[in-house]
Amino acid sequence: MAVATAATIQAHLIGATYPEGTLSKNNIFDYEQYTTRRRYPSCEVITTQPESTVETKKSTDTTIAFEINYYDKNLGLRTDDVSTQREVENVIRARMETMVLQDYKVVFESKSWSRQSVQRDGSHPAYLISTLKITVRQVNVTVMPVDGVLTFNVAGSTVDNPPGADYIYTNVFDVDLQSGYRDIEEGYTGSHIPLHYAGHIQGRFICNIMVKNADLGATGDKLNKMTLLRTNGEKPEIKFVYTNKTADEVAITNTFTAEPESVQMLYKTTDAVVFRLIAKLITDIIIT
18-67 pLDDT tens trace:
999 899 999 999 999 998 888 999 999 999 999 888 887 667 788 889 99
Query: Is the bond leading into 41 cis (omega within 30 degrees of zero)?
Result: yes
Q: How confident is the model at residue 78 (pLDDT cuts 50, 70, 90)?
A: low
Q: How confident is the model at residue 11 (pLDDT cuts 50, 70, 90)?
A: very high
What backbone phi and psi angles, to 5 degrees, belong to 238?
Answer: -120, 130
Q: Which CATH architecture has domain 6-141?
A: 2-Layer Sandwich (3.30)
Model-wide pTM > 0.75: no
Question: Which residue from 157, 199, 179, 208 is spatially nearest to 287, judged by alpha carbons?
Answer: 179
Q: Which residues contact 11 (CB under 8 A, 6 or more apart)?
A: none
pLDDT for 271 = 59
CATH of 149-287, one of 3.90.120, 2.30.110, 3.40.720, 1.10.3470: 2.30.110
What backbone phi and psi angles, to 5 degrees, belong to 92?
Answer: -65, -45
What pLDDT digit, counting tens, does each position of 80-117 carry? 667 888 899 999 999 999 888 876 566 678 889 998 88
What pLDDT digit, counting tens, does each position of 221-280 carry? 999 999 999 999 999 999 999 998 777 778 889 999 999 999 988 766 555 678 899 999
Question: Which residue from 46, 37, 55 is spatially nearest to 4, judged by alpha carbons?
Answer: 46
For the chain, domain boundaries = 6-141, 149-287
Residue 132 has pLDDT above 80, yes or no: yes
SS3 218: coil
Residue 159 has pLDDT above 90, yes or no: yes
